[in-house]
């Protein structure tokens, strides 16, 4: 075996089992046992959702913390990543489902995300990468904008209530108090979905049930978001507007954000192009490789970026239900090929990943 061969590990999380950093740690252990002459570099990734801040920190950004309001209004400590004037803010840190003690589909707010953006501005950020995904709310990011100084007003002049239900009353928006620093700040919306704000493919219909919304709630939220769009005067069909309960719409309209595929943004943040140069193989992965993976998930983005530099990519996953070649992969290895019991795959992910790493080494590094 050639001792100058190098493997770059760029996995996403295995949701419900291991973070991307933990996945990379187990793959490193397995590869080093199976192929001790091969150099291994770990660069965990994310697609803009959970784990985006961790990926930035693993690539050298500084983790910063701030007290903000959680989705139900309670105080929580949330993290963002900072390097120079670039901040990576993850919506799930402040306003994610994991921050909610209980489902509150009508009243959960994204206010804390706005507070986290404000903390990044206070720290000197002039470029904010806003990673979305895992949101607890469907409020069109009115909460986020309110934390940054916007006021959402009902017909009688009072401020509307929190959450998506409050948007059913919105009649006007007062932008006069919006943080003036935003005018000199570049905001990038990093997301892996391109849903519109409203309609059958919109934020309420597609993502509302994940946040606990029943059929009546979905109808109410969709109508409220449609009213919100009419008040703001920007068409709700803009791609990415429905991301994370409408955070896309709020960021695109209220902050002048640019929408970009999350994995592309994250790969730039972590310096993937430089890291992959000289590698002989890239190993990526996530919990399930399926039809959803084709819609801009991390493994596809990693494989495409590596292919542009002539480096092959393989993936590890929990379950595999799509041909690896359709994802741009040279091969894919599933935990279920070692352990058919999915429950055991969830509880023994680390050791099983180390065994899969040995298979990768045998097939590609021997």
Of the residues 263, 297, 331, which one is the last residue of a structural domain? Answer: 263
Task: Give the C-alpha separation, 130 to 190, whole Å.
Answer: 6
Residue 183 lies in a domain: yes
The distance in angstroms from the start CA to the end CA of the chain is: 6
Residue 119 lies in a domain: yes
Number of CB atoms found within 10 A of residue 151's CB = 17
Q: What is the mean pLDDT of each run of 10 residues along the chain (366 residues)?
A: 75 94 97 94 91 94 97 96 97 91 92 96 97 84 91 94 91 95 92 76 84 93 89 64 57 77 93 94 95 84 96 97 95 96 95 97 91
Q: Are residues 301 and 237 in the same domain?
A: no
Q: State the total domains in the chain.
A: 2
Residue 16 lies in a domain: yes
Q: Are residues 211 and 328 in the same domain?
A: no
Task: Give the C-alpha separation, 141 to 139, whole Å.
Answer: 5
Q: Which residues contact 261 (CB under 8 A, 6 or more apart)?
A: 47, 48, 190, 191, 192, 296, 301
Could you tell me the CATH number of the domain that includes residue 310?
3.40.50.10350
Residue 110 lies in a domain: yes
Q: Are residues 306 and 208 in the same domain?
A: no
355 class by beta-carbon count within 10 Å (0-12 exposed, 13-18 middle, 19+ buried): middle
Record the tokens describing residue 320, joined without a space.
Answer: 């595999």
Q: Are residues 135 and 176 in the same domain?
A: yes
Residue 97 lies in a domain: yes
Residue 1 lies in a domain: no
Own/partner contacts of 322-328, CB < 8 Å, gap of 24 or more, are 322/289, 322/290, 322/291, 322/293, 322/294, 324/289, 326/294, 327/289, 327/293, 327/294, 327/299, 327/300, 327/303, 328/300, 328/303, 328/304
Q: Are residues 22 and 165 in the same domain?
A: no
Residue 231 lies in a domain: yes
> Which residue has 């045998």 as its token pair?
362
Of the residues 263, 282, 301, which one is the last residue of a structural domain? Answer: 263
Spatial contact of 294 and 300, defined as CB atoms under 8 Å apart: yes
> Which residue has 């693993």 as its token pair?
58
Q: Are residues 236 and 300 in the same domain?
A: no
Of the residues 200, 228, 263, which one is the last residue of a structural domain? Answer: 263
Residue 82 lies in a domain: yes
Structural domain including 284 reads 6-43+271-364
Q: What are phi and psi of 189, to 5 degrees?
A: -90, 110
Task: Give the C-alpha separation, 66 to 69, whole Å.
Answer: 10
Spatial contact of 61 and 81, defined as CB atoms under 8 Å apart: yes
Give 138's Cβ-side CA count (13 Å radius). 34
Q: Are residues 66 and 10 in the same domain?
A: no
Could you tell me the CATH number of the domain that includes residue 81?
3.90.1510.10
Q: Are residues 237 and 177 in the same domain?
A: yes
- pLDDT (0 to 100) of residue 190: 87
SS3 content of the chain, % helix, strand, coil (to 5): 45, 20, 35
- pLDDT (0 to 100) of residue 3: 44
Record the tokens describing residue 360, joined without a space.
Answer: 């990768």
Category of 285 on φ-ψ map: left (φ > 0), alpha (ψ -120 to 50) or beta? left
Q: Are residues 259 and 281 in the same domain?
A: no
Q: Are residues 230 and 339 in the same domain?
A: no
- pLDDT (0 to 100) of residue 258: 84
Q: Are residues 256 and 277 in the same domain?
A: no
Q: Are residues 251 and 309 in the same domain?
A: no
């Amino acid at each position: 075996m050639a001792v100058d061969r190098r493997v770059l590990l760029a996995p996403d999380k295995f949701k419900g089992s291991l973070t991307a950093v933990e996945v990379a740690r187990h793959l490193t252990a397995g590869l080093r046992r199976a192929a001790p002459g091969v150099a291994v570099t770990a660069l965990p990734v994310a697609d803009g959702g959970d784990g985006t801040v961790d990926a930035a920190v693993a690539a050298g950004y500084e983790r910063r913390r701030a007290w903000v309001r959680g989705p139900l209004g309670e105080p929580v400590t949330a993290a963002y990543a900072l390097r120079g004037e670039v901040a990576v803010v993850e919506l799930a840190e402040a306003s994610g489902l994991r921050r909610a003690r209980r489902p509150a589909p009508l009243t959960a707010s994204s206010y804390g995300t706005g507070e986290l953006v404000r903390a990044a501005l206070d720290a000197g950020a002039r470029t904010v990468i806003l990673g979305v995904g895992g949101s607890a709310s469907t409020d069109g990011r009115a909460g986020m904008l309110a934390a940054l100084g916007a006021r959402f007003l009902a017909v009688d002049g009072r401020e509307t209530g929190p959450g998506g239900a409050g948007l059913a009353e919105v009649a006007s928006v007062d932008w006069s108090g919006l943080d003036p620093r935003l005018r000199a700040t570049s905001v990038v919306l990093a997301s892996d979905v391109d849903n519109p704000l409203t309609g059958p493919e919109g934020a309420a219909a597609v993502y509302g049930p994940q946040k606990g919304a029943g059929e009546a709630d979905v109808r109410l939220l969709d109508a409220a978001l449609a009213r919100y769009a009419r008040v703001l005067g920007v068409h709700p069909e803009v791609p990415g507007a429905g991301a994370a309960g409408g955070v896309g719409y709020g960021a695109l309209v209220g902050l002048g954000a640019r929408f970009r595929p999350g994995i592309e943004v994250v790969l730039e943040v972590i310096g993937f192009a430089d890291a992959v140069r000289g590698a002989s193989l890239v190993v990526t992965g996530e919990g399930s490789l399926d039809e959803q993976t084709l819609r801009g998930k991390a493994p596809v983005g990693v494989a495409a970026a590596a292919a542009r530099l002539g480096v092959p990519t393989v993936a590890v996953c929990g379950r595999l239900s799509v041909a690896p070649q359709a994802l741009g992969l040279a091969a894919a290895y599933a935990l279920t090929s070692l352990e058919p019991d999915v429950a055991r795959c969830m509880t023994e992910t680390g050791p099983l990943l180390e065994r899969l790493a040995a298979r990768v080494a045998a097939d590609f590094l021997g």
